Amino acid sequence: MRLQDKVAIVTGAASGMGKAIAELYAKEGAKVVVSDYNFEGAQAVAEGIKAAGGEAIANRTNVAELGDLENLFAETKAAFGKLDILVNNAGIMDGMEPVGEISDEKWDRVFAVNTTGVMRAMRIATNIFLEQGHGVIVNNISAGGLRGARAGAAYTASKHAVTGLTKNTAYMYANSGIRCNGIAPGGVETNIGASMTGISQFGMGRQQTGSGTMPRVGKPEEIAQLALFLGSDESSFVNGQVIAADAGWTAY
């Protein structure tokens, strides 16, 4: 029970990696806030956790809306009285557009979810953690936050921004009992592709030239194991790192 009596928020937790993280956290003793824009999906995950003997509540949050985020943290405090771990997992894809094709609308939408929403959640959590004297942030970033050809211009830039935000936050609050790390998954079996619209054939073609170097597609449960380590006290000496979990894809 590596997270016994911890309280954790997991965004984008109705499916995929977020669901796997929420379920593993609960299995390891955490009280989990299952947050997602898909409230019915979040409820199903929370009910499954409770049926397995864990503690969880469901929350509907559009991470691009500040009011929703503020409500998420308020509900967490009301239900469990504190917050120990924030997992920023929610994210969307672009359409593989290179910079010459990206629209302002698509750029703003991707950044609103992938970057601004993460920053705002971190800002709220950090102020809670400063009052408590401790707290952990785990950002699910993507190999697209480390390399330039895993997606289009908007997604790549949005994830690189979160890589920098993760490192900056870790350094700024290293003496305040707060840790901040990131995960950079490679290809994983999730439904994030459903968020892709207006796909660029040129951009997709360029991106696919490196797909053959990917050793294999990962399982959400494999990413959850890394999120568990980073969220637990076992990683107490790990701070400001973005760890690739991609079967060696970024080694190429």
Name 51's Cβ contacts closer than 8 Å, sequence gap at least 6: none
What is the distance between the alpha carbons of residues 37 and 228, in angstroms, rounded to a whole number?
Answer: 23
**Identity at 162, one-letter amino acid code:** V
10 Å Cβ neighbour count for 95?
A: 22
Helix or strand run (H / E) with residue 236: none
Contact between 3 and 31 (Cβ < 8 Å) = no
Question: What whole-number distance in Å separates Cα of residue 140 and Cα of residue 123?
Answer: 16
Q: For residues 30 and 49, is the Cβ–Cβ distance under 8 A?
A: no
Q: In the numeric block, which tokens belong to residue 77? A: 């405090």
DSSP 80-148: HS---EEEE----------TTT--HHHHHHHHIIIIIHHHHHHHHHHHHHHHHT-EEEEEE--GGGT-S
Q: Which of 25, 37, 155, 173 is catalytic?
A: 155
Q: How far is Cα of residue 125 from the mean position of the Cα atoms in its chain?
A: 14
Whether 37 sits among the annotated catalytic residues: the reply is no
Catalytically active residues, by annotation: 155
